[in-house]
Amino acid sequence: MVTRRQAFVFAALFGLLLLAFLLHVGLGSVWLSPSTVVEKIFHGPGPGFAPDAGYDKDSFIVWQLRLPRAIGCVLVGGMLGLVGSAFQALFRNPLADPFIVGVSSGAMLGGVAALVFGLAALPGLLGKLSMPLCGFLTGLAALALVFALAQRRRVVDVAGLLLAGAVTGSLLGSVQNLAIILSGRDSNDVLRWTFGSMSPMYWETLGLMAVVFAFGSWLLMRQGRWLNALAIGEATALRLGANVKHIRNTVLVAGTAMVAVSVGSVGIIGFLGLAAPHIARRLLGVDWRSSMAGSLVIGALLLLLADCISQRLGEVPVGFVTAILGAPSLLILMRKGRV
């Protein structure tokens, strides 16, 4: 049950998220006020959908250039924040993040393959969806490899998952770097994407991310009650009637799918999935049902703000911004004994 304080915190977070969203859409070489942004969003894209079609230029800027990027920040940030919170509960480790089981390396390999082999340059829908789809498929394949390596006598434990994830991540990361070197093409574009970039963002990509976001969030939030028990210990969860294997598999598969499509779409954005859960628990308490929801909102808010800073700094990869701001924040939490 949500307390009055938690309801107030959620209302404040949603208010800040809305303001950050309007600020993000309004920022650029042409400044658009929040009232103008709201007007253009509710007015719709209008006919023509080209700068020379004789319709309002501001509508083109909002709908074609800025709105997809802002929505992408909300989806990616929300997924990373939620998965980070769920993984911290599952592994009972406050330093766990969405990339802890090596899935990010698998998703990166798929995205890099789509770039290197020219799939992303194909015209139409296939080109726009090639990177997130390849990242999604190779991310799930990486999770299957992690399970195969971690399994001992048909039993998979947390320590085995973490070790197998580290091995898999290192292996697939090396394969990814080898593919970039052997491709013979300029690696700057590929490396820029691997460091995390929200541009370009297509409506077709957003559609795929929205489906994974909705389904994955529903699955993870349903596990909140059992994650509360599992965070204390597996023995306690078993006494309360939890199916630990089912919970672990559900969280890992749903989280992997969300991380894979995020990484395949925008690259790796570090520290976001680590910082958002800690902020959420400070604001909303240790009940994972509320803190996971808070992590989702906070993750979206942080990525919107980080991408605003990225644009002001000349379109540097947003992964640099989150790392530069996230690393000192984590060190401060560690010094204060809160991690």
Task: Tell me how far apart the alpha carbons of residues 324 and 313 are, in angstroms, rounded to a whole number.
Answer: 13
Six token digits for residue 231: 């965070």
Domains of the chain, first to last: 4-335 (1.10.3470.10)
As a residue count, the chain comes to 339
* pLDDT, tens digit, 9 for 90 and up, residues 6-56: 999 999 999 999 999 999 999 888 888 888 898 888 887 765 445 455 557
* Those residues with Cβ within 8 angstroms of residue 284's Cβ, 6 or more apart along the chain or in another chain: 6, 9, 10, 290, 291, 294
Find how far residue 112's CA is from the centre of its chain: 18
Q: Please, are residues 24 and 66 in contact by the beta-carbon 8 Å criterion?
A: yes
Whole-model pTM over 0.85: yes
Q: CB–CB of 89/250 below 8 Å?
A: no
Cα 81–chain centre separation: 7
Residue 47's nearest CA partner among 58, 39, 56 is 56
Taken in order 190, 191, 195, 197, the sign of the CA dihedral is negative
Kindly give the confidence (pLDDT) of every residue in the chain, 339 residues in length, as a single tens digit, with 9 standing for 90 and above. Answer: 678 889 999 999 999 999 999 999 998 888 888 888 988 888 877 654 454 555 578 888 888 889 999 999 999 999 999 999 999 988 888 878 888 888 888 888 888 888 888 787 787 777 888 888 998 999 989 988 888 888 776 666 777 888 888 888 888 888 888 877 776 666 666 777 778 888 888 899 999 999 999 999 999 999 988 888 887 777 777 887 878 888 888 999 999 999 999 998 998 898 888 889 988 998 998 888 899 999 999 999 999 999 999 988 877 889 888 888 877 777 776 676 555
Any residues with CB less than 8 A from the CB of 16 and at least 6 apart, and which? 301
Report the candidate in 239, 194, 227, 290 with the shortest Cα–Cα distance to residue 96.
227
